[in-house]
């Protein structure tokens, strides 16, 4: 009985908070005049990265006539951007409130938390362009099968969909998949390509130097191991093999001058102490296995151009990597669980763009393919690339800008 009373009180308190936020947001929307300004944010306001980062830099550098403001919850991000000459504001400031409630346009990747303290405090007159975090093979949000979103998240997502003016994608096929997940109306999806993929065709020389220092060599073959976020399930297992042997793996890598970079999803790394301890122990013990987390590399797409191969599972990252036409290995160790709880937007195995890795022996086979430059999956990659990518150039940013015009 006490538990029931407690839940009822909490529900009542949340409803009251919702009403207060809603009234405050609506009042600010009415009182402050709308201006030709663009606010931009990403990754729930915590990082300067993903598609938002590249459209932000592009518009600021090449279209200064547009008033572009980055909104963040991270003071370091705000200070760093200010030092680089970009306009950025701390989300918990009065200046941020002014920019939020007078801007005509908003660019974001993940959710309304990218731009506002809370979805209920969002500016109802703003026109949002959803740059998205990438479209993967797995069903998410409203397209999930058994793993449903909470009532609170559903309410916040429905509010978000009302404010979306356009959502960008990489192909008509990707737009169809995206609509299944977002439910915003098929007409709102527009094929521009992702701004973040513009940089795949331009290697960052400074980052190349930084990475060389990290791996201890400027001529090593580099492979990125970056699994997908498992969204509330058991934390991702790196090397989920019965024959797992780190010492043998490290010797194999070292003999071939190969460095393996481990990059867990930031949400899992922040939430799981066990995962942090495990990865720190592995990367400190073995010379050719290194941690490439968000503190070192806030934006994974800056890493992709200098990687010789990619290991993933269901992440949208391997869709981006298709543009480079380099070997991809897949470790779908919990495929059945994903199939049951999420489901897939297309036949995962029929369209697999690389080797399916089931054990450490398969992992070695993939590594040898990367090292030799000869793999038998180039045709598979090309077929999937044609489905996922309409554009294979570096002008996505300019196409996104056309939406505003």
Query: Would you state the pLDDT for residue 11?
Result: 44
Nearest to 363 by CA among 311, 307, 288, 322: 311
Q: Does the residue 11 lie in any domain? A: no
212 and 334 part of one domain: yes
Helix axes 50-62, 396-404, angle to 10 degrees: 80
170 and 139 part of one domain: yes
342 and 213 part of one domain: yes
| Residues 6+ away with beta carbon under 8 Å from 144 | 341, 342, 343
Residue 70 bridge partners (DSSP): 40, 88
163 and 299 part of one domain: no
Domain span including residue 223: 204-388
Query: Would you state the pLDDT for residue 133?
Result: 87
Q: Does the residue 182 lie in any domain? A: yes
- b/e sequence 136-159, b meaning 16+ C-beta within 10 Å: bbbbbebbbeebebeeeeeebbee
251 and 183 part of one domain: no
188 and 212 part of one domain: no
Query: Would you state the pLDDT for residue 182?
Result: 93
Q: Does the residue 8 lie in any domain? A: no
Q: Does the residue 61 lie in any domain? A: yes
61 and 189 part of one domain: yes
DSSP per residue over 29-89, as a string?
A: HHHSPPEEEEEE--GGGT-S-HHHHHHHHHHHHH-TTSEEEEEES-HHHHHHHHHTT--EE
Contact (Cβ atoms closer than 8 angstroms) between residue 34 and residue 100: no
Residue 223 bridge partners (DSSP): 260, 309
Distance of CA 340 to the CA centre of its chain: 23
Query: Would you state the pLDDT for residue 3?
Result: 43
- Tens digit of pLDDT at every position of the chain (405 positions): 444 445 445 544 545 555 565 566 556 556 655 567 899 999 999 989 999 999 999 999 999 888 999 999 999 999 999 999 999 999 999 999 899 988 999 999 999 999 999 998 888 889 999 999 889 999 988 898 876 778 888 888 889 999 999 999 999 999 999 999 999 999 999 999 999 999 888 766 665 555 555 666 668 899 999 999 887 678 899 999 999 999 999 999 999 999 999 999 888 888 888 889 999 999 999 999 999 988 888 788 888 998 999 999 999 999 999 999 999 999 999 999 999 989 999 999 999 999 999 999 999 999 999 999 888 899 999 999 999 999 999 999 999 999 987
220 and 179 part of one domain: no
* Token digits of residue 400: 């996104």
280 and 188 part of one domain: no
Report how far residue 222's alpha carbon sits from residue 289's, in angstroms, rounded to the nearest whole number: 10
Q: Where are the alpha helices (DSSP H) in 193-334?
A: 205-215, 246-255, 266-271, 273-285, 317-321
Contact (Cβ atoms closer than 8 angstroms) between residue 136 and residue 228: yes
Query: Would you state the pLDDT for residue 129?
Result: 97
Query: Would you state the pLDDT for residue 116?
Result: 95
CATH code for position 247: 3.40.50.12580
| Residues 6+ away with beta carbon under 8 Å from 237 | 333
Q: Does the residue 362 lie in any domain? A: yes
227 and 314 part of one domain: yes
Q: Does the residue 127 lie in any domain? A: yes
Phi, psi of 123 (to 5 degrees): -80, 115
Segment (H or E) for 290: strand 289-291
Residue 127 bridge partners (DSSP): 105
CATH code for position 153: 3.40.50.11820
Helices (H) and strands (E) in the chain, counts: 15, 13
47 and 99 part of one domain: yes
Domains of the chain: total: 2
360 and 229 part of one domain: yes
């Amino acid at each position: 009985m006490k538990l029931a009373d407690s839940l009822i009180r909490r529900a009542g308190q949340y409803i009251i908070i919702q009403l207060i936020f809603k009234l405050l947001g609506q009042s600010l929307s009415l009182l402050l005049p709308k201006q030709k300004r663009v606010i931009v944010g990403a990754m729930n306001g915590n990082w300067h990265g993903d598609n938002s980062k590249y459209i932000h830099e592009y518009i600021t550098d090449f279209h200064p006539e547009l008033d572009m403001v980055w909104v963040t919850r991270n003071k370091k991000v705000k200070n760093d951007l200010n030092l680089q000459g970009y306009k950025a504001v701390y989300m918990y400031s009065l200046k941020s409130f002014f920019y939020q409630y007078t801007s005509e346009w908003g660019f974001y990747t993940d959710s309304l938390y990218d731009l506002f303290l809370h979805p209920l405090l969002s500016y109802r007159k703003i026109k949002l362009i959803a740059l998205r975090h990438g479209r993967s093979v797995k069903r998410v949000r409203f397209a999930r099968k058994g793993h449903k979103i909470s009532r609170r998240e559903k309410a916040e997502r429905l509010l978000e969909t009302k404010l979306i003016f356009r959502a960008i994608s990489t192909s008509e096929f990707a737009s169809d998949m995206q609509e299944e997940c977002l439910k915003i109306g098929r007409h709102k999806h527009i094929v521009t390509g992702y701004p973040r993929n513009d940089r795949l065709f331009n290697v960052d020389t400074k980052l190349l130097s930084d990475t060389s220092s990290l791996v201890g060599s400027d001529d090593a073959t580099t492979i990125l191991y970056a699994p997908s976020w498992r969204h509330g399930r058991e934390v991702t297992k790196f090397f989920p093999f019965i024959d797992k042997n780190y010492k043998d793996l490290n010797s194999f890598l070292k003999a071939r001058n190969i460095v393996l970079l481990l990059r867990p999803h930031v949400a899992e790394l922040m939430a799981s102490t066990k995962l942090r301890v495990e990865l720190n122990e592995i990367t400190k013990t073995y010379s050719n296995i290194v941690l490439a987390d968000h503190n070192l590399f806030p934006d994974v797409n800056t890493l992709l151009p200098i990687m010789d191969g990619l290991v993933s599972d269901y992440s949208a990252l391997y869709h981006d990597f298709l543009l480079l036409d380099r070997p991809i290995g897949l470790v779908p160790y919990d495929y059945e669980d994903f199939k049951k709880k999420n489901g897939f937007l297309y036949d995962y195995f029929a369209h697999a763009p690389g080797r399916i890795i089931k054990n450490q022996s398969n992992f070695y086979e993939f590594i040898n393919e990367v090292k030799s430059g000869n793999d038998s999956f180039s045709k598979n990659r090309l077929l999937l690339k044609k489905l996922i990518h309409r554009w294979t150039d570096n002008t996505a940013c300019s196409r996104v800008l056309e939406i505003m015009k």
